[in-house]
Structure 1
Amino acid sequence: MTARSNAQQRPGASYNHALKGISLLKSQRLAVLPVDSYDLESELSVVDRHEYKGEYDALTFGAWSCHVLANGSGTESDIAFRPHGDHLTPTELGRKLPGIMSLVTDHFSLDRLQWVRIFSLRDGIMAPHVDFLEFTEPGTRLQIPLRTTEESLHSENDIVYHLRRGEVWKIHTTDPHSAGSSARTARLTLCLDFSDAEEPVAIQGDIPATEPIRIIERPEPTEAELEELLDSCRNLTAATMRSVFRRFVELHFKRRAHAATVFDWYVEAARRSGDDDMITKAQAYRTYCIEKRSQAETFDW
């Protein structure tokens, strides 16, 4: 089943922009799964308590974590994504979550499935980034929220949108995109990575979509807002560069601006500091997030 893209009709510019946002959105809602048919609450609590080793700290701000249910090694501490040709093997965590694993096996073929992970996001945000820069060929990444709130959002280029619980989304990973949530309750999203970006992923046992795709309306940033943000970094230092960046991403989610523009703002703010090292660091972070990085490369703040 492929859900038809639509928007709740509203008169005027907001409705027109919502339609335009849907037409330009490269990520796709593929289906809706009957998540309510599975008793997952106790298992989601297990994920809430599960420890995270900080593999993706360079890209995340606030409480974001990654939890591996199945991969090529069967080791839950093996969380750094990479394509592999091994047999998909449940981790110790995955074996503790039979309901969530049943949701996967009931609705998806395992033939091309390489990773099963859960992303947790609570009062946090991700830097805009491009996935698979390290690899010659991208795969197919699906995300299915298992617990979410209205404050939990995704972005792609200049569009911000919401993934509802049970919706299966094929994330367009090769354009700048991000995720953020201001909620105190952790959003938990099932992430499935399949080999081959071109071959469609078969989905069984889905249910009809009853809600329109939700595009979030944002006003244009004002000159005063941008000036305040940029000027706030005149005293930027090596110690504050990381924490300050979150403000730039938060403005992208609140105001209509391209995800890559976050880095334009950040580099300009670094220039206002008058420190060449800060400018170089800001430019290097842009490169790492959306332009070029090698496998296993880390970013040193």
Structure 2
Amino acid sequence: MQINKIMVVGAGQMGAGIAQVCATAGLEVLLHDVSEASLQKGITGIEKRLQRAMEKGKLTGEARQAAINRLTPSSTLKDVKTCDLVIEAAVENMEIKTKIFRDLDEQAPEHALLATNTSSLPITEIAAATSRPEKVIGMHFMNPVPVMKLVEVIRGLQTSEETYQAVKQLAVQLEKTPVEVNDYPGFAANRILMPMINEAVYAVYEGVSSPEDIDTVMKLGMNHPMGPLQLADFIGLDTCLYIMEVLHEGLGDSKYRPCPLLRKYVKAGWLGKKSGRGFYSYQE
């Protein structure tokens, strides 16, 4: 299947990043958001990142302008009628995602594939909200999308081989490395990453060591570019907690129980970098 035109639903950090790499790779892109302010912010962010890439010599002026020309803002899902693929990157909430997929299923052409950038929610359940479950798939990009090379390509129970191959080929076209993953809670990346972060939080909770020293152990001892607690702050502690709850509920194993300290920080509004305080302070 040839994919020429894509709609990205959600103009936040992930959606804008996905739209950017698709437009840079030569695809026509509609960036959709229900919020006009979010849409404008997303477009502006893409233009700034492309400008920086050009200034660093990673992109020519012609390539930058061509990518911008391929990008069109969209305020209505009806625009999906001309698209071959949709990549949904809305908020991580099953009720919201299933509503989006029901609407997309009604509006998108029969041949169109529907992908979700969810980091933890079951693809099979999202697909069940549509009349084309064989054309629904997970396409989990890593943050920041323009920099990170990995894409988890996640098969739902009914995802067809044709759908999987088309999305895998697209990931390669975007200069990403696709890995095949089946539909289990947390997929592969978060199934491994989040318990490590949670265990680091337990180490702080139990007084094993300080956040700084735990991160130093992982950076210098295990050659991680960033410690797990700093990484948790960058991801968002509320997001980490949410994914741990998905793992705990979905797998029913006590080893995925979120650390009480993680819950306490989230209840306090200490969500990490985005709130100015997590395991570290980000106040100016």
Give the TM-score of the pair, scaled to structure 1.
Answer: 0.29
TM-score, normalised via structure 2 length: 0.30
Which protein is richer in strand relative to its size?
1
Q: Greater share of helix residues, 1 or 2?
A: 2
